[in-house]
Amino acid sequence: MSELISLIIPVYKVEKYLHRCLDSVISQSYSQLEIILVNDGSPDSCGEICDAYAHKDSRIKVIHKKNGGLSHARNAGITVAKGEYLSFLDSDDWVEVEYIEKLYKLLKLYQCDMAVCNFIKASTTEIEQKNSLVKIYEFSSLEALEALTGPYYLPLVVAWGKLYHRSLFEEIRYPIGRLHEDEFVIHHLIYRAKKIVFTTEELVFYWQREDSIMGKGFNIVRKSHDAMAYKDRAKFYEEKGLHELRDKTYLMAFMKYRKIMEPREEHENLEDFQGLKKDFMSFKPILRSGKHQLIYKIYYELYYMCPKAMIYMHKLWSALKKRWVISS
C-alpha cells in the first residue's frame, strides 16, 4: 500500500515560475501526496496562485505566514506535515513526472531512510536529459558523509531532490537567518540515517535565474555562511570522533575562507570582512593539528605567510599541469 508523502514547497516572489513548479507536482505519477505550499509573505500574486491550486486539488494545503526566510518556511512545513516521508522543492524549480515514485521505490527496494537523485541546471525549458547511463549507489551513513567531499557533493547537500523518512527530522530544523541553510543540516540527517541510496538519474530541474539568492554576484555574507557551514560540519565530526572527515572538512573550510579573503582591497573596510579575517587566522592551528598531504601543508603554510606568492605558485602549477596533460 502506498504511504503518504509530504512535499514541502516554500514560496516567495516566484509568480513567473510557480505555475510550472505546481503543474509538475500535481501531475506526479505517485498520487498519495500531501502538497504543502508555504507562502512566506510573498508581496506578489504567489499567495493567490497557491490558493487557486488548493481550490482545484484537495491534496494541497496552503500556509500563509509573515516573511521569515527559506529556513523558517521549510520548518513551518515540517511542523504540519502528516506524511511518513518528506520531500522539499524550491518554487522556481520543477520535477520529472516520476520524481516521487522513483525515489519511493528506491527507498523501499534498498530499505533506506533517505533516497537522493541528481538534477539538471536549467536556464531554458528545452532541456536534453542525459539519463541513459544511470548508476545507483548504496551508502552507509559514514560512506554518505565521505561522499560529501566527492564529486556528488551538490546533489547530496541540497535539501531538495530527496525523500526522507520523517524520523530524521525529529529535533532537527533548518537554521533561521542562515544562507546555505541546507549545508548546516545535511550532515546531521545523513548521520542519523542507517542507509542512503543515490541515483544519478536527473529528476529535478534546478532553475538558474539572476534574481535568486544563489544567482546574485559576490556577496560576502553569503560566502561567509557557506564557509561557516563547513566549519560547523567539521566540529560535528570532531564531536562524533570522525577525525579523518573532520580534517578533510576543515581543509575545505579553509579553501572557502581563502576565496573570500583574496579580493582584500574590495572588502578590507567592511565590518563583516574584519570578523572573517580574524576567523580565517584562527584556522592556522586547527589545520596544523590535522593530518594532511604534504602538498596541502605547503599550500596553507605558504598562503598564511604570503598569500600573493601562493596564488602565483598555484596559477603556475595549474598551467604546468595543463601543459603536461596536453603534451602527453
Report pLDDT for 211. Answer: 55
Distance CA(250)–CA(282), nearest Å, equals 11
Nearest to 289 by CA among 254, 250, 256: 250
Q: Are 151 and 203 in contact (CB under 8 A)?
A: no
Beta carbons of 178 and 71 less than 8 angstroms apart: yes
- The CB density around residue 306, as the number of other CB atoms within 10 Å, is 11
H or E segment to which residue 85 belongs: strand 85-88
Please state, in angstroms and rounded to a whole number, the distance separating the CA atoms of residues 162 and 157: 10
Residue with cell 582591497: 265
Instruction: Provide the 10 A C-beta neighbour count for residue 271.
Output: 7
Nearest to 129 by CA among 160, 152, 98: 98
User: What does the pLDDT profile of the chain (328 residues) look like in tens digits?
Assistant: 589 999 999 999 999 999 999 999 999 999 999 999 999 999 999 999 999 999 999 999 999 999 999 999 999 999 999 999 999 999 999 999 999 999 999 999 999 999 999 999 887 666 666 657 899 999 999 999 999 988 899 999 999 999 999 999 999 999 998 888 999 999 999 999 999 999 999 999 998 866 554 444 456 777 788 888 999 999 999 999 999 999 999 888 888 887 777 655 555 555 666 667 777 777 778 888 888 877 778 777 777 777 777 777 767 767 776 676 555 5
| 136-140 vs 195-207, strand pairing mode | antiparallel
The pLDDT of residue 315:
73
The hierarchical CATH code for the domain 5-207 is 3.90.550.10
Where do the structural domains in the chain lie, given as residue ranges?
Answer: 5-207, 217-292, 293-328
